[in-house]
Chain A
Amino acid sequence: MRPMTRIAVALLVCAVSWASASAQTPGPTVVLSTTTSTQDSGLLDVLIPLFEKQSGLTVKPVSVGTGQALALAARGEADVTLVHAPALEKKYVADGKLLNRRLVMYNDFIVVGPEADPAKIRGEPRAAAALAKIAAAGARFVSRGDKSGTHILEQALWKEAGVTPAAPWYIESGQGMGATLGIADDRRAYTLTDRGTYLAFSKRIALKTLVEGDRALFNVYSVMEVNSANGPRVNAAGGKVFADFMLAPATQAVIKTFGVEKFGQALFVPIAGKKDEDL
């Protein structure tokens, strides 16, 4: 059994170093359910250390799809949630599952496509009108097709355009934004993307920004606290501290300049204190 003993010793060393590593987790934690976009953009990596330093609390950010982030919060699996699905959010607030919905920031979506622009949508002020043109021209369009926030917005825009998109020109990727941009680039197709992911990928793809600035393309993030009645172990107080932090002037200032250094433009616009109708 000698070789086995050796392996066991090696593994035991792992286990011991493990125990010492996991012993250093500090006291109270706040579970934040949020969307992948806040993490993929790198914003959380900047804000969370700042928050932990200020509050002495530890944050566990769980980045999932918008629908799942809200569902987790409603079940009391999280203490605070930061998402971007206003209609859905208001439903949860109306049901009393989530409390104190406050706007934090927005970023925007853009319609990108090939330089040649076969459907002639460049500069079209309304996104829905641009999609109608794409459908009329039968130009290729790649959809996320994954019920993500981006996909839900896309479906709403098709509805507004009065078009039921269909194959062969309509392609469903079933993947994340990055992979979808790659497919759209490869097929010289149009797609709807958030600006942050597009900027991150712009080095690698030839797609151009063709439609931007429509109010319908604004992607508004809100923070909501979880009702402590949702579950037995909700840290409602910690959740409130985090929500307040997101709206604090110092935090909003960080959000305002986030991304400038890396992409040459800010990824988010801070809007603490504003209401939906102000935008």
Chain B
Amino acid sequence: MDLLWAGLREALRLLVTGDREVVTILLLSLQVSGLATLISLALGVPAGAALALLRFPGRTLVVSAVNAGMGLPPVVVGLFISLLLWRSGPLGGWEILYTPTAIVLAQAVIAAPIVMGITLAAVQNVPEKFRLQLLALGASRLQMVRVVLREARLPMLAAVMAGFGGIISEIGASMMVGGNIKGQTRTLTTAMVLETGKGNFEIAIALSILLLVLVFGVNWALTAVQQRRSV
């Protein structure tokens, strides 16, 4: 128990004093996972909506693949992105391995199927009759999609939360493609593993608390938007 209290005190101290290293780590985690979420939304929302509305042969297979992708193990993504980004790999010329950009790439790959899957479910939940009615009223297909997405906006916020929550707390891929380099690619989770390995449990606990507060804060803000009646 004494450790837990020491951790809580340490967390408070780091927050209050605005410890430079911790602030750097915190900001990097937020930026990397925020940007990756943005990319996954840009890819996942249109793809998920298209998959929900279109009918084509082999669709069930694609939907199953997306649903399976929602559970894509981060360490697998990390390994394959590493292989691609290695100097000897096909994208070695980009020279982005062990940079924050590589982490964004890996996290976007992890989050995209999550966003896609939840968008797919949300759009499919809008009754088909409603869509047909829109078309009957003279809406173009594009207009119909826009209205349907608008109807599905609340469950789609869940996609943002799940995507962001999944990647900010992810470790396997961040460690492999980022390398946990101090001041460059050290995120909250990789720093936690490092401090635990060093036996600095107080700092590890403090970082865990910061991560929990961060995840809670982001979800709180999103939930507030989601639950507001006037939207």
Complex-state Cα separation, A77 to B88, whole angstroms:
7
Cβ-based interface call for A125 (8 A): no
Complex-state Cα separation, A15 to B35, whole angstroms:
6
Cβ-based interface call for A232 (8 A): yes
Cβ-based interface call for B208 (8 A): no
| B81-105 contacts to A (CB < 8 Å) | 86-88, 92-93, 95, 97-101
Cβ-based interface call for B150 (8 A): yes
Q: Hey, which chain B residues are within 8 Å of A40, CB to CB?
A: 194, 197-198
Q: Hey, which chain B residues are within 8 Å of A17, CB to CB?
A: 27, 31
Task: Mark each residue of chain B from 147 to 166: 1 if its CB lies under 8 Å from any CB of chain A, else 0.
Answer: 00110010011001000000
Q: Hey, which chain A residues are within 8 Å of B160, CB to CB?
A: 7
Cβ-based interface call for A200 (8 A): yes
B87–A233 contact, CB under 8 A?
yes
Q: Hey, which chain A residues are within 8 Å of B75, CB to CB?
A: none
B31–A31 contact, CB under 8 A?
no
Cβ-based interface call for B30 (8 A): yes
A201–B153 contact, CB under 8 A?
no
B197–A178 contact, CB under 8 A?
yes
Q: Hey, which chain A residues are within 8 Å of B100, CB to CB?
A: 18, 21-22
Q: What are the 5 tightest A-B residue pairs by CB atom distance, in nearest-first order? A: A14-B34, A200-B199, A11-B38, A3-B225, A201-B199
Closest residue of A by beta carbon distance from B198:
A40
B184–A60 contact, CB under 8 A?
yes
Min C-beta distance of B48 to chain A, whole Å: 14
B31–A62 contact, CB under 8 A?
no
Cβ-based interface call for A204 (8 A): yes
Task: Mark each residue of chain A from 39 to 75: 1 if its CB lies under 8 Å from any CB of chain B, else 0.
Answer: 1111011001000000000001111000000000001
Closest residue of A by beta carbon distance from B149:
A1
A3–B226 contact, CB under 8 A?
yes
Q: Hey, which chain B residues are within 8 Å of A203, CB to CB?
A: 199
Complex-state Cα separation, A11 to B99, whole angstroms:
20
Complex-state Cα separation, A256 to B179, whole angstroms:
27
Cβ-based interface call for A94 (8 A): no
Q: Hey, which chain A residues are within 8 Å of B37, CB to CB?
A: 11
Cβ-based interface call for B181 (8 A): yes
Cβ-based interface call for B182 (8 A): yes
Closest residue of B by beta carbon distance from A31:
B98
Cβ-based interface call for A173 (8 A): no
Select one of B31, B179, B222 contacting A60, CB under 8 A. Answer: B179
Cβ-based interface call for B231 (8 A): yes
Select one of B38, B101, B179, B200 contacting A8, CB under 8 A. Answer: B38
Closest residue of B by beta carbon distance from A72:
B86
Select one of B87, B181, B226 contacting A76, CB under 8 A. Answer: B87
Closest residue of A by beta carbon distance from B185:
A60
Task: Mark each residue of chain A from 164 to 192: 1 if its CB lies under 8 Å from any CB of chain B, else 0.
Answer: 00000000000011100000000000000
Number of interface residues of B (CB under 8 A): 44
Which one of A8, A77, A177 has the highest number of Cβ atoms from chain B below 10 Å of its Cβ?
A77
Cβ-based interface call for B180 (8 A): yes
Q: Hey, which chain B residues are within 8 Å of A41, CB to CB?
A: 198
Task: Mark each residue of chain B from 26 to 60: 1 if its CB lies under 8 Å from any CB of chain A, else 0.
Answer: 01101110110110010000000000000000000
Closest residue of A by beta carbon distance from B86:
A77
16 A-B interface contacts by CB (under 8 A): A3-B153, A3-B226, A6-B225, A8-B41, A11-B38, A14-B30, A15-B34, A21-B27, A21-B28, A31-B98, A36-B197, A42-B198, A61-B181, A77-B97, A200-B200, A231-B87
| A216-232 contacts to B (CB < 8 Å) | 231-232
Cβ-based interface call for A12 (8 A): yes
Known A21-B27, A60-B179, A232-B92; 15 more pairs at CB < 8 Å = A3-B225, A4-B153, A4-B156, A7-B222, A15-B38, A18-B35, A21-B31, A25-B99, A40-B197, A60-B184, A62-B179, A77-B88, A77-B97, A203-B199, A234-B87
Min C-beta distance of B96 to chain A, whole Å: 10
B156–A77 contact, CB under 8 A?
no
B87–A204 contact, CB under 8 A?
no
B88–A75 contact, CB under 8 A?
yes
Closest residue of B by beta carbon distance from A13:
B34
Min C-beta distance of A257 to chain B, whole Å: 19
Complex-state Cα separation, A41 to B199, whole angstroms:
10
Q: Hey, which chain A residues are within 8 Å of B95, CB to CB?
A: 233
Closest residue of B by beta carbon distance from A182:
B199
Closest residue of A by beta carbon distance from B89:
A77
